[in-house]
Structure formats: structure tokens, C-alpha cells
């Protein structure tokens, strides 16, 4: 069993980064609701507790507070931002509005000697984002860092092992953030750093074998990173007891279905590819509204899956590529927004299976990619850009036809080839077939053909994004290749909209 750091969520937007940060230092962590009782915490026996930030003001009546008995357990606590304010407030300190808030990288000076900030250079720029601050420390605490507008930018009570930072050590924009985390985890909590992903594979393989025994497991394989790594892990654990159904809805990028088939048909598992493109196109015929297209595709996916699995006879377990962010006990009750999970592979809840296997449910996306590589999946698959479940159907404005699909698929192939040559690539890039026609001239002929839009974005979480300022020569090459190599395109435009106000996908 791993040593555990418990992260209590008060609605902070960086809770996952905190967890990633401890895991990258080889200390396992889990995120739980800030409402957890002290008794439950005790049962989990964590080496340390981290209280996250949050959007509330601690002095307001209904703002979230942890169970006060948590401070009686003798477990080290690190409060970050709201977490620091809440801890100080609950232990008798005072928290007030700053008047002027601090946002961004703020000059932070370390004062005096401290355990939490030991060995860290004195002048730092730390990421801050707050409108309240601790104006009076509780008894037993000392100030260990200040900024121009926030006297108590960090504090500690070494006797009780309570620590607070107004800044965010978990984000990469903070100087020495990892060192602060390291001091807390190793010097204060006494963690030994024994969490390794290799162990995750071994542990999970054993757990799957134990759960499944000699029974059969069915997995809906979409070719996305999560379901692919899930298939690789299950195949390592139970080999031919696993059946993967890959529903090719005909809305994938150029050659993608074949690549997936090629990789998985070589593995020791039962792989079924269902070419359902015609079926999907029929259902989509004449449908123009984006939401309706999404709904039709989602439903049809489930129908195809059901049809195929009913041909297989009794299969006892259903496997799903659910990952940790999908199941984190959310701080939704404290007002943060949760990204809606809109995946076409989402299978119905009312299935007739004896049990569900979710072997990736303890992992973050980047950990899933690392495990995928460890299991021998090719780069091409594990480092795949996100691709929407409804596929090219939501990159074709208006109704979807085979002809438009072929055209977009080839334009997208050119975009991917050209941008793919760049050393630093955007996080996501693709072509969109707009529903605009435009006049052009090819040879001596007037044309009236399609307009292709190119999209490339920089983002870390896909919740917001900036457009990528692609070099003009790259854009020029994309444009001349698309208009030259594809007959029915007369014009190429570049989308320079961020999110908000746009979204990554056009529909």
C-alpha cells in the first residue's frame, strides 16, 4: 500500500495540479471532498493533508470549512490560498479582504528561518490569485514570507506541523514551487517517495486477474488514448479473455481506423472492427444542427456496440477507460465548474454486465500516456491529440455527406502533415469544412467552391485556449497544398479566435 497525501478540495481550480505535483515527486495523493470527516481521514491514515484553494471568502457564513477535528489528528497540514486562510481562521486568526488583490507572478520575500521554505532562495516570484488575506496569524504561528501587499504570504506552526502559503507552489509559474512541495512531503510529512508507475501496472494487472478470474471482459475501443491504454493493460492481464469492439463510425481522420486495427490485431486479444460508416451517415443524413449530430452519433455508437456484443454470447465484465479526473469527488458543492465529459464511447449505465473494470481510474492523463508507452504502444497512439468522439461530423458545418468527409479528411491530412513538421507543435490542430462557398479562379476558369478553415491552438487544459501564431510560410504552404491538391476548394482561411469567446471545435 502506498503512502498517501490527502488533498481536501474546497473548489480550487488547481486541485489536480496539486495531486500531479506530489505524484511527480513519487508520493501518491488522492483528492477528496473538503466535507470529509476527521474520522474518515483517520481511517485513510495519510502522511499529510493539503487544503486546496477555493473561490470563497472564509469569513462569510456559508463558506466551506473542514471538520475542525482534522486539526486534532496530529497529521501535518499544508493550506494553499483559501486553504491557508481557512486553517488560520479556524485556529483563531483573522482573514480580511486585501482591498487590492494580487494576481499573477508576485515578488515574494522569505522572512526568518522556516521548515517549509528551508533551502529556498529569498526572492521569489510566486503565482498568486487572491482578494482575501490572513491579517492576524493564530497563536503559535510565525510569518515566513511576505509580499508588498500581503504581509502573511506564508506561515507555519512547527510544533503542530501546520503550514500555510498564500501562493500556489503547485503551478509551474511559481519559482521553486516543487522545492516547497518537496520540503512539505519529505522533510515535514516524512514521505519516502515510493510511488512509481511501474508498480501501478503490476498492482493493477494483479487486481484485474483477481477480480475477473477466468471470466470474459468486453471493452469499447475508440482509438483514443484512454481506451487504447486500457486495452493494452487488460490484454497484459487477461489476454484472450478480453474482447475489444472498435466501432469505426467513418468519421475518423485519414487512415486512423486502419492504424488502430493494425496495432490491436497484433496483440493477444480478440479484436473486432465494425465498419459502421454507412449506418452513421444514414442517420446523419440532412441533419444540420450540431447538438443533434452529437446526439445521433452518441446514440448510434451505443446501438452498434449493443448489436455486436449481443452476438458474442455471455460476457461477464464491461471495461471502461475512465481516468482519475473523471471520477474525482468534485468540489462542485463549493462552486467550481466541472468540465463536462462528452465522450461518444460513454456506454449506457443500465448494462447487463456482472461487473465493471476500470483499470485507469487512479491515473491522470499524462500518467496514462506514460503507462501506454511502458506497455509498448506506439508514440503515435499515446501522444495523440484529443479528437472529439463525434469526429469529423462536428468539423463539417451543416449536413454530413461522404463527399464532404472525403474532402475534409484530405485537407486535414495536409494540415497535420505540415504542422506536424514543426519542432514545437500546437496542442491541437485540424481542418474545418465551413459551409461557405467562395468564388476563385483556377487556370482560366471561374470556380465557386468550398472554404476550408485551419485551426491550431495552445492550451494546457482545453478549457480555455489561444490561437497559435503559426509562421506565415507554414500557413502559405498549407493553403497552396489544399487549394492545389483538392479540386473543390477555392479558399483557405486561418481561425484566430481564442476560447472564450470561441471554442476549440467549430460545432
Clarify whether 81 is annotated catalytic: yes
Of 3, 16, 155, 168, which is the active-site residue? 168
Clarify whether 72 is annotated catalytic: no
Cβ at position 301, least distance to ligand XMP in Å: 11
C-alpha cell recorded at residue 427: 496542442
> What is the DSSP track for 276-322?
-HHHHHHHHTT---HHHHHHHHHHHHHHHHHHHHHHT----EEE---
C-alpha cell recorded at residue 376: 509498448
Q: Is 499 in the site for ligand XMP (CB under 6 A)?
A: yes
Within 10 A of 213 (CB to CB), how many other CB atoms are there? 10
The binder of ligand XMP chosen from 343, 434, 483, 490 (CB under 6 A): 343
Q: Which stretch binds ligand XMP (CB under 6 A): 43-51, 115-123, 388-396, 479-487?
A: 388-396
Is residue 405 within 8 A of residue 433, CB to CB? The reply is no
Clarify whether 230 is annotated catalytic: no
Contacts of 238 (CB under 8 A, 6+ apart): 208, 209, 212, 217
The binder of ligand XMP chosen from 322, 390, 475, 482 (CB under 6 A): 390
Cβ at position 233, least distance to ligand XMP in Å: 20
Of 156, 170, 256, 367, which is the active-site residue? 170
The binder of ligand XMP chosen from 462, 493, 495, 498 (CB under 6 A): 462
d(CA 354, CA 342): 25
- Beta strand residue intervals within 120-265, DSSP E: 123-136, 142-146, 154-157, 162-165, 217-221, 242-248
The binder of ligand XMP chosen from 386, 469, 471, 484 (CB under 6 A): 386
Cβ at position 505, least distance to ligand XMP in Å: 3
d(CA 151, CA 163): 15
Q: CA-CA-CA-CA torsion for 419, 424, 427, 431, nearest 10 degrees?
A: -10
Cβ at position 343, least distance to ligand XMP in Å: 4
Q: Is 503 in the site for ligand XMP (CB under 6 A)?
A: yes
Is residue 459 within 8 A of residue 466, CB to CB? The reply is yes
Return the exposure string of 34-64: e unless at least 16 CB atoms fall within 10 Å of the residue's CB, then b.
Answer: bbbebeebeeeebbbbbbbbbbbebeeeebb
Cα R_g (the chain), whole angstroms: 26
Q: Which is nearer to ligand XMP, 405 or 457 (CB)?
A: 457
The binder of ligand XMP chosen from 388, 396, 397, 414 (CB under 6 A): 388
The binder of ligand XMP chosen from 64, 79, 389, 426 (CB under 6 A): 389
Cβ at position 437, least distance to ligand XMP in Å: 25
Cβ at position 468, least distance to ligand XMP in Å: 14
Size of site (CB under 6 A) for ligand XMP:
13
Is residue 102 within 8 A of residue 130, CB to CB? The reply is yes
Q: Which stretch binds ligand XMP (CB under 6 A): 46-54, 161-169, 414-422, 497-505?
A: 497-505
Q: Which is nearer to ligand XMP, 90 or 344 (CB)?
A: 344
Q: Any bridge partners for residue 432, and if so which?
A: 453
Q: Is 37 in the site for ligand XMP (CB under 6 A)?
A: no
Site for ligand XMP in 276-295 (CB under 6 A): 294
Which residue bears the cell 501496472?
A: 201
Q: Which is nearer to ligand XMP, 425 or 499 (CB)?
A: 499
d(CA 145, CA 281): 62
Q: Which stretch binds ligand XMP (CB under 6 A): 100-108, 131-139, 358-366, 387-395?
A: 387-395
Of 3, 30, 66, 81, which is the active-site residue? 81
Q: Binding string, 424-443, against ligand XMP, x = CB under 6 A?
A: ----x---------------
Q: Which residues bind ligand XMP (CB under 6 A)?
A: 294, 342-343, 386, 388-390, 428, 462, 499, 503-505
- The residues assigned a catalytic role are 81, 168, 170
Amino acid at each position: 500500500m502506498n503512502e498517501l497525501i490527502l488533498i481536501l478540495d474546497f473548489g480550487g481550480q488547481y486541485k489536480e495540479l496539486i495531486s500531479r505535483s506530489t505524484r511527480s515527486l513519487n508520493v501518491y495523493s488522492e483528492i477528496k471532498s473538503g466535507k470529509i470527516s476527521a474520522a474518515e481521514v483517520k481511517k485513510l491514515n495519510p502522511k499529510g493533508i493539503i487544503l486546496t484553494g477555493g473561490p470563497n471568502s472564509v469569513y462569510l457564513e456559508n463558506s466551506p470549512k473542514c471538520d475542525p477535528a482534522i486539526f486534532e489528528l496530529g497529521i501535518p497540514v499544508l493550506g494553499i490560498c483559501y486553504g491557508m486562510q481557512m486553517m488560520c481562521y479556524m485556529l483563531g486568526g483573522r482573514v480580511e479582504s486585501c482591498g487590492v488583490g494580487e494576481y499573477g507572478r508576485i515578488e515574494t520575500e522569505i522572512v526568518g528561518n522556516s521548515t517549509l521554505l528551508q533551502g529556498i532562495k529569498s526572492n521569489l516570484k510566486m503565482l498568486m490569485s487572491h482578494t482575501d488575506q490572513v491579517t492576524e496569524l493564530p497563536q503559535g504561528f510565525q510569518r515566513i514570507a511576505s509580499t508588498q501587499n500581503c504581509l502573511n504570504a506564508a506561515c507555519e506552526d512547527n510544533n503542530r506541523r501546520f503550514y500555510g502559503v498564500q501562493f500556489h507552489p503547485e503551478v509551474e509559474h511559481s519559482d521553486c514551487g516543487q522545492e516547497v512541495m518537496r520540503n512539505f512531503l519529505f522533510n515535514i510529512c516524512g514521505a519516502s517517495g515510493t510511488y512509481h508507475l511501474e508498480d501501478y501496472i503490476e498492482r493493477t494487472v494483479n487486481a484485474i486477474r483477481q477480480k475477473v478470474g477466468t471470466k470474459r471482459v468486453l471493452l469499447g475501443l475508440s482509438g483514443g488514448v484512454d481506451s487504447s491504454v486500457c486495452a493494452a493493460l487488460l490484454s497484459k492481464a487477461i489476454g484472450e479473455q478480453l474482447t475489444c469492439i472498435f466501432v469505426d463510425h467513418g468519421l475518423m481522420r485519414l487512415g486512423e481506423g486502419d492504424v488502430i486495427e493494425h496495432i490491436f490485431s497484433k496483440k493477444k486479444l480478440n479484436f473486432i472492427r465494425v465498419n459502421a460508416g454507412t449506418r452513421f451517415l444514414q442517420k446523419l443524413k440532412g441533419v444540420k444542427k450540431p447538438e443533434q449530430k452529437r446526439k445521433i452519433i452518441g446514440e448510434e455508437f451505443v446501438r452498434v456496440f449493443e448489436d455486436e456484443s449481443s452476438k458474442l454470447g455471455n460476457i461477464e465484465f464491461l471495461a471502461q477507460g475512465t481516468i482519475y479526473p473523471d471520477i474525482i469527488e468534485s468540489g462542485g458543492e463549493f462552486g467550481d465548474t466541472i468540465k463536462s465529459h462528452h465522450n461518444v464511447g460513454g456506454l449506457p449505465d443500465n448494462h447487463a454486465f456482472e461487473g465493471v473494470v476500470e483499470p485507469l481510474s487512479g491515473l491522470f492523463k499524462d500518467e496514462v500516456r506514460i503507462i501506454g508507452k511502458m506497455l509498448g504502444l506506439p508514440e503515435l497512439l499515446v501522444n495523440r491529440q484529443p479528437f472529439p468522439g463525434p469526429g469529423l461530423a462536428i468539423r463539417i458545418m451543416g449536413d454530413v455527406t461522404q463527399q464532404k468527409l472525403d474532402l475534409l479528411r484530405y485537407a486535414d491530412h495536409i494540415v497535420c502533415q505540415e504542422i506536424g513538421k514543426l519542432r514545437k507543435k500546437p496542442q491541437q490542430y485540424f481542418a474545418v469544412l465551413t459551409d461557405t462557398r467562395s468564388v476563385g479562379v483556377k487556370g482560366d476558369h471561374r470556380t465557386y467552391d468550398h472554404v476550408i478553415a485551419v485551426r491550431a491552438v495552445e492550451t494546457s487544459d482545453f478549457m480555455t485556449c489561444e490561437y497559435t501564431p503559426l509562421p506565415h510560410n507554414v500557413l502559405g504552404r498549407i493553403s497552396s497544398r489544399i487549394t492545389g491538391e483538392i479540386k473543390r476548394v477555392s479558399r483557405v482561411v486561418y481561425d484566430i479566435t481564442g476560447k472564450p469567446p470561441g471554442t476549440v471545435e467549430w460545432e
